Structure 1
């Protein structure tokens, strides 16, 4: 039976071996140990698509679970608060109480008449419970056990302001009274920045910001070697170095490159993944990055911003940065005419400013995707 591929190029799925995030996990664990006053109990994680935001949320959930904390996942829709009040928190309370205490039984015996039994539900004592009430109820129970509550919220940019305001107010209320509670939210940079402009998101705005950056090359190399070993094969150092170079420290691309190299080794009927297996999948890595990362990232980007992206792609040589002056010349406009679109592209996380007056792509292989036959749009 063939060994199972240990690489997981699926969005939101934790990798077999996590690379380059140890310091963030350690800071979070320290924040839990510090107590309610720790700034690391309110975190806002941002990063481009595939940078590992959801995976980091999963790791934070595991870290709190190991300390006996309960995780409540909030979902960014119109019923977010209602789902917490009437579903997630009552379920957590029942699990803590145990199956025998889900309902309380009280009996009244009347002579000559059959016993009348009344069943009371302790979680319906308040006909219109608020989120603060529910969280205090759960927090008080966990306080006796020396643990707390972690609330995670993924895709923050999709949350509704009024729902986010209620959630943030409740968390802040419990923090003021020294309850053990933490809130970690994650989302795309552009959507987060837009959302945090609203007055109702003040508390979230004060959260500790974590902008996920690419994984260091050395950490990436170790990840390839260790993950391959977990699956029962070996990867040569030369192959791991090449895989790290191809994937550019981008977490999704790392898993994708490893997965395809593993598949190529199966086709080659070898237990050792050498550089030839990695090199053989380079083109497929770039193609899949285009389909699974770049296309969704470019969805709904206006033509004015797309034109700048195509200009950068045409002017860039092997991924090098491009001056805004050269971009303006190619587009036949003055440099200051690019300011609004440039600002929006930065918010979307599609470009970066490596140094003053220059721009470059944030996502690896965006240039190749834009210049491919199916997407090439010459600048005139």
Structure 2
């Protein structure tokens, strides 16, 4: 069929034409926005799950809901071994800019902008290009406010002032943090502490994070009360009904349907993982000659999907690993279970467990595996073990 009309959209963080299976999370967040804007207490939210399940897509969809309610929003993507201070300064500045132009008191706006500027200047950290970022606002930095150098104290003062500005407009401020597990532990604790204080104050400030399955454990390690601070949402693969919806609704808009057998085969190949749903949907559409799409079309397109995933989804990640780390990954795949005890990996490689700690830690830092439970590890990418066994 016409590839120009192909409705499917596999891509990192790219919203699919039909965001199936996430209605409950979207409805819950809509209630959260209303409650916070009305001054009622509500917890912030954390999304966790494997790669390819649509966490970033859902995070962006939640941000879109906040934008539709004319909230101030900003987004951060955390990176390993990088301080969160400068990205947070940029995100808060973006959020203030979204609400400031509607405020009737320019002096009050300038006062808050001065606090944002003092916080940004106090970071003293260059961005990835080696440049020092300062908010492009023509105001004097407010001395003695959000500039102590203590990140938690500075964030509390910054969030308090920014939230107060938003409250004047009966809205709020929401900050969205992707790859949240990569924030250094001390800074993550400071961020949780500031969010906790905002909750106690009833300030209209929300923190929405997304990360790998062990993110709740990382948060609990940074602050003991983090398990009560957030509403945790496990983002998983789509059940059969929702996967069918992700395939059929976009196709129906183009006047195309699927035979039941084709949907059976697609779900068998993808296990309902959203990234795979889009990848296989796209190649199946291109292979089909007409409506309804048949099982033979799915089989015809499958090798192309497998080849693309082998290079872009699986292979690119495997290539990032060092030789020692690749041995560790291959041993995990050979053992075959979803969760693998680290002692069994050591036995399989005929090594002492302590000698494998650098490889394991390097893989965790690169986001290829995570500590599923004490003494065990698991892949962050679905079907990664199957890919490695097929090599």
- TM-score higher than 0.5: yes
Instruction: Identify the match of residue 306 of structure 2 among 271, 286, 290.
Output: 286
Q: Which residue of 1 aligns with 2:127?
A: none
Q: Retained in 2: the 8 A contact 1:48–1:349?
A: no
Instruction: Identify the match of residue 223 of structure 1 among 246, 249, 252.
Output: 246
Instruction: Identify the match of residue 273 of structure 1 among 272, 293, 318.
Output: 293
Distance (Å, rounded) in 1 between the aligned partners of 2:182 and 2:380: 22
Report matched runs for 1:80-159 at 5 Å: 80-84=87-91, 87-97=93-103, 124=140, 126-127=142-143, 129-130=145-146, 131-159=155-183
- RMSD after superposition: 4.5
Residue 297 of structure 1 deviates from its aligned partner by 4.3
**SS of residue matched to 2:73:** strand
Instruction: Identify the match of residue 208 of structure 1 among 219, 223, 231.
Output: 231
- For normalisation by structure 1, the TM-score amounts to 0.72
Distance (Å, rounded) in 2 between the aligned partners of 1:245 and 1:45: 26
Residue 44 of structure 1 deviates from its aligned partner by 1.9
**Structure 1 residues 276-285 or 68-77, which shifts more?**
68-77
Change (3 A) 1:18 1:137: same
Change (3 A) 1:321 1:189: closer
Q: Retained in 2: the 8 A contact 1:158–1:191?
A: no
**Structure 1 residues 182-191 or 221-230, which shifts more?**
182-191
Q: Retained in 1: the 8 A contact 2:52–2:382?
A: no
Distance (Å, rounded) in 2 between the aligned partners of 1:191 and 1:367: 22
Change (3 A) 1:291 1:27: same
Q: Which residue of 2 aligns with 1:72?
A: 74
**Structure 1 residues 340-349 or 148-157, which shifts more?**
340-349
Q: Retained in 1: the 8 A contact 2:3–2:285?
A: no
Distance (Å, rounded) in 2 between the aligned partners of 1:50 and 1:189: 12
Distance (Å, rounded) in 2 between the aligned partners of 1:259 and 1:177: 48
Distance (Å, rounded) in 2 between the aligned partners of 1:171 and 1:59: 21
- Kindly indicate whether residue 269 of structure 2 is the aligned counterpart of residue 246 of structure 1: yes
Distance (Å, rounded) in 1 between the aligned partners of 2:88 and 2:370: 35
Q: Which residue of 1 aligns with 2:120?
A: none
Change (3 A) 1:3 1:303: closer
Q: Which residue of 2 aligns with 1:27?
A: 28
Q: Which residue of 1 aligns with 2:285?
A: 262
- For normalisation by structure 2, the TM-score amounts to 0.70
Q: Retained in 1: the 8 A contact 2:18–2:250?
A: yes
Q: Which residue of 2 aligns with 1:295?
A: 315
Change (3 A) 1:272 1:3: farther
| Unmatched segments (≥5 aa) in structure 1 | 105-120, 374-380
Distance (Å, rounded) in 2 between the aligned partners of 1:351 and 1:283: 29
Distance (Å, rounded) in 2 between the aligned partners of 1:143 and 1:132: 16
- Kindly indicate whether residue 175 of structure 2 is the aligned counterpart of residue 173 of structure 1: no
Residue 181 of structure 1 deviates from its aligned partner by 1.9
Q: Which residue of 1 aligns with 2:384?
A: 366
Distance (Å, rounded) in 2 between the aligned partners of 1:212 and 1:11: 16
| Superposed CA offset, 1:239-294 (max 9, x none) | 222222211111111111111112223xx4x3542222211122222232222222
Distance (Å, rounded) in 1 between the aligned partners of 2:314 and 2:89: 35
Distance (Å, rounded) in 2 between the aligned partners of 1:142 and 1:351: 38
**Structure with the greater alpha carbon radius of gyration:** 1
Q: Which residue of 1 aligns with 2:209?
A: 185
Distance (Å, rounded) in 1 between the aligned partners of 2:359 and 2:171: 46
**SS of residue matched to 2:5:** coil
Instruction: Identify the match of residue 53 of structure 1 among 44, 51, 55.
Output: 55
Distance (Å, rounded) in 2 between the aligned partners of 1:4 and 1:212: 29
Residue 217 of structure 1 deviates from its aligned partner by 1.5
| Unmatched segments (≥5 aa) in structure 2 | 112-136, 147-154
